[in-house]
Amino acid sequence: MTARSSRLQTSALTVWLVGLLGGSAGAAELPESVAAFLDRHCYECHDADVAKGKLNLADFAFDPANGDNLAKWERVFDRVRAGEMPPEKKPRPEAPELDRFLADLKAPLVAADRAEATENGRVRSRRLTRVEYEYTVHDLLGIDIPLKDLLPEDP
């Protein structure tokens, strides 16, 4: 049995078990063209056996609603779009295949990013410390008044 057929059997078994047991409520379905692209160009170096760069795409869930998962898939997207992956030593995808992969992967990533921005805002704010607040007021207003002692204690 070749390594590729073993991976295909493992992938088929995984898909069957997820379907049988019910997948994660938040997990999205990986677009078919993306799955085919990963199979042709990525799993040889990024599966459970090899995992170059400590990246195992074969067992990596597609759940862009999860912030950490979204960041990892964005990194995959960026590397492929920049031409870093697949590496030059490996067979390169034809332009139409590459364009379809990027378009089909980009759509759910952008949708998840927009959903998160709608829910949490574009930039998450945080509370300034007393010192940060004092420096900010000094920078913005150009005044040199000691404010930190007038402010409530930092939590």
Q: Which residues of 3-129 form beta strands (DSSP E)?
A: none
Residue 83 DSSP symbol: T
Q: What is the Cβ-side half-sphere exposure of residue 40, based on CA atoms within 13 angstroms? A: 13
pLDDT, tens digit, 9 for 90 and up, residues 134-153:
999 999 999 988 998 999 99
Question: With 0-12 CB in 10 A as exposed, 13-18 as middle and 19+ as buried, what is 135?
Answer: middle
pLDDT at 31 over 80: yes
Compute the mean pLDDT over every residue in the chain, rounded to the nearest whole number. Answer: 83
Q: Which residues contact 144 (CB under 8 A, 6 or more apart)?
A: 138
Q: Which residues contact 77 (CB under 8 A, 6 or more apart)?
A: 102, 105, 106, 109
| Angle between the N-to-C axes of helices 95-120 and 32-41, in degrees from 0 to 180, rounded to the nearest 10 | 120
What Rg value do the Cα atoms of the chain yield, rounded? 23
pLDDT, tens digit, 9 for 90 and up, residues 57-70:
988 889 988 888 99
pTM of the entire predicted model? 0.61
Give the pLDDT mean for 62-84.
92
Residue 94 DSSP symbol: P
Residue from 25, 31, 53 nearest 111 by CA: 31
Give the pLDDT mean for 60-84.
91
Q: Please say whether the beta carbons of 34 and 105 come within 8 A.
A: yes
| Domains in the chain: boundaries | 26-124, 126-155
Tokens at 138, concatenated: 């000094």
